[in-house]
Structure 1
Amino acid sequence: MIYSIENSKIKITASTHGAELHSITGQKEGTEYLWNGDVKYWKYHAPHLFPIVGKVVDSKLKVDGIQYEMPAHGLARISEFTLLIESNNSLTFGLNYSEDTLKIYPYRFSLFVTYTLEENSIIVTYKVINLDDRDIVFSIGAHPAFMCPIEKGEELEECYLQFNKKETSSIIEITKDTYLSRKRTECLRDTHTLPLSRELFKDGVLVFDDLKSDKISLKSKNHDKSLSIEFKGFPHLGIWAPETGAPFLCIEPWFGHADYEDFTGEFRDKEGTISLSTDKVFECSYKISIEE
């Protein structure tokens, strides 16, 4: 089921399926900022990544010596959530463990996704509660896809990303199977901006783990409309646009990342995972803002 909330500057819709945003619309001109989910290119809009980010090797998650079949990006994006709270400016969706989730992720948990409107912004909050009698291990992240270019008739090459701090940064190279390699490539040198092009994404997603910035803005050379994401506290960031020419760009704050291609260990030993004690709560949030 689809729900919507709005204020004078912004309107959003979100679905119980995956607790996924389906639309971010500016009230000034009715501009749509979120990818429309055209199945010709990519059927999602802004999936949530839990309890893994990316892929695990051979789709196998190892917990206490037992291997579990785990789909790419985890179970949240393909699960049906329940709307728990609806107000004038917020929506909260919840997902509890079940017999089905335990077959692929052997931990008892509750996951909550909350959208809160503030002026021209949406605050997206994740909350994970450990309902198990042992520590649970997970990664969590976001995969929102934004219209890029924002305005019809523009080309990707007329758009750029602006970082809120000057960056000299490298990316972790991706294998053909979309795992992480042990190689790195310099991507940014003493700059606030990253020009966009299809060539930039020829090898797949750009994975950063050493950014100083905690805010990135998607901008155009031709107008003042823009979109930004603030991701304070998130240690990893992915940026991706498909080579197919689909008009969207993903800006993805993560706690965790895909497996390295040579990783064979237990999930708890994987770099970037979170370990949460019984009855404890993990919470994080990021903000999407539009400027018109």
Structure 2
Amino acid sequence: MYTLENTKLKIAIKKIGAELCQISSIKNINEFMWDANPAIWANHAPILFPIIGALKQDSYYFENKKYSLGKHGFIRNNEDIILHEQTQNSLTFKLSENENTLKSYPFKFEFYITYKLIDNVIEVVHTVKNCDIQTMYFSLGGHPAFKCPLYSDENYEDYFLEFEHVENSVRHLINMEIGLISSSTNPVFNHSNKISLTHDLFNEDALVFKDLKSRKVTLKSGTYGAILSLHFKEFPYFGIWAKPNGNYVCLEPWLGVADPENTNQDLKTKEGILSLKPKETFAATYRIEIHNNHLV
């Protein structure tokens, strides 16, 4: 376990999976992350790379060769990640290709995840370097789970999500038997910017959005106001999820999306896939802002 702290926040990151597992107030007892109760969902904030969600039959094709890769890729729960660099306000972790990754992903790469603690904000910086002689294809994203409700005198249903812009958008439904995006959609926003949180909201799995105008979402309490905001300027896809009986909500900025049911399984043409030429580097950052009135 590695930690960073300043006068407002303390954060902790697990070595396994380089997973953010704690965001705590220094001055009070408030803890903003889900506790990873194994009876419900035993994760805090897994990192998604080199895919988001599920592949059809857990496999894809690259240059006519079939590869097997499980849901969300191989960063989460990975024991090969190392601490690469530490400064007074940041921790950077690294994973390079190895025998295990090359079996499921035929690219030489360096993947870095950096956590920076700046005042009341945690910056999460993903950096990918293509160390291969061929173009590399990948997706990446975050899956942080935030405690909800924050205070003991509240209920889950007292909370809602508020997006920065008025939206007219639908959720892309997931075929729950196979984990793939179906052709069906359901309206969520009708010239509005709020989603009320209820446990049955997630009975049909995650809410998957592909066309939000907003790049900021705030978790709000009807009693205590804004708790935290997630800024995801560089991430065009967005997911919202929880186990139906879990007192948390995952706010998930994505560069990529799970396979659709009708996929041809070709990695190069996968929806949302990113390409990176040899020796080039890509970076994308999202930010978690804890509102100051919960830190005093």
TM-score, scaled to structure 2 = 0.96
Residue equivalent to 2:272: 272
CA distance in 1, matches of 2:265, 2:93: 33
Quote the residue 1:113 is aligned against: 113
Aligned position for 1:15: 14
Cα distance between partner residues in 2 of 1:225 and 1:86: 31
Structure-1 residue corresponding to 2:71: 72
Residue 57 of structure 1 aligns with an amino acid whose one-letter code is K
Deviation at 1:82, TM superposition (A): 0.7
Counterparts of 2:61 and 2:266, CA distance in 1: 5
**1:68, distance to aligned residue in structure 2 (A):** 1.3
Distance 1:263 1:254 in 2: 19
CA distance in 1, matches of 2:167, 2:151: 27
Q: Which amino acid aligns with 1:199?
A: D
Q: Residue 76 of structure 2 aligns to a residue in which SS?
A: helix
Counterpart CA distance in 1 for 2:10 and 2:29 is: 9
SS in 1 for 2:189: strand
Distance 1:79 1:62 in 2: 23
Unaligned stretches of 5+ in structure 2? none
1:198-217 matches, within 5 Å, as 198-217=199-218
Which SS does the other structure have where 1:92 is aligned?
Answer: strand
Number of equivalent positions:
290
Cα RMSD, aligned residues only? 1.1
Counterpart-to-counterpart distance in 1, 2:156 and 2:138: 35
Q: Conserved in 2, the CA contact under 8 Å of 1:205 and 1:241?
A: yes
How many angstroms apart in 2 are the aligned matches of 1:60 and 1:153? 46
Q: Is the 8 A contact 2:218 2:226 kept in 1?
A: no
1:232 maps to what in 2?
Answer: 233
* Partner SS, residue 188 of structure 1: coil
CA distance in 2 between counterparts of 1:181 and 1:140 reads 21
Amino acid at match of 2:186: T
Aligned residue identity for 1:110: E
Deviations 1:194-240, CA, capped at 9 Å, x for gaps: 11112221111000111111100111111135011000021100001
The whole-number CA distance in structure 1 between the counterparts of 2:87 and 2:35 is 25
* Gap runs ≥5 in structure 1: none
C-alpha distance in structure 2 between counterparts of 1:185 and 1:224, whole Å = 28
1:110/1:128 contact within 8 Å kept: yes
**Residue of structure 2 equivalent to 1:99:** 99
Q: 1:238·1:253 contact (CA, 8 Å) conserved in 2?
A: yes
Q: Name the residue aligned to 1:173.
A: 173
Counterpart CA distance in 1 for 2:7 and 2:242 is: 31
Runs of 4+ in 1 over 3 A off after TM superposition: none
Deviations 1:137-164 (A, max 9, x none): 0000001111011222422111000111
- The answer (yes or no) to whether the contact 2:123–2:285 under 8 Å persists in 1 is yes
**Cα deviations across residues 72-128 of structure 1 (Å, max 9, x unaligned)?**
100011212111111111000000000111011111100000000111000000000
C-alpha distance in structure 1 between counterparts of 2:37 and 2:242, whole Å:
14
- Rounded Cα–Cα distance in structure 1 between residues aligned with 2:151 and 2:85: 34
Residue 61 of structure 1: how far off its partner (Å): 2.0
Q: Which SS does the other structure have where 1:200 is aligned?
A: helix
Query: Closer, same or farther in 2 for the Cα pair 1:153/1:65, shift >3 Å?
Result: farther
Equivalent position of 1:54 in the other structure: 53
CA displacement at 1:178 relative to structure 2: 1.9
Residue 37 (structure 1) aligns with: 36
Question: What is the Cα deviation at residue 264 of structure 1?
Answer: 2.2
Indicate if the aligned counterparts of 1:92 and 1:112 stay in contact, CA closer than 8 A: yes
Tell whether the 8 Å contact from 2:47 to 2:141 is kept in structure 1 after alignment.
yes
Note if contact 1:26-1:290 (Cα within 8 Å) is conserved in structure 2: no
Residues 34 and 146 in structure 1, CA contact (< 8 A), matched pair in contact too: yes
Amino acid at match of 1:37: A
* SS of residue matched to 2:173: strand
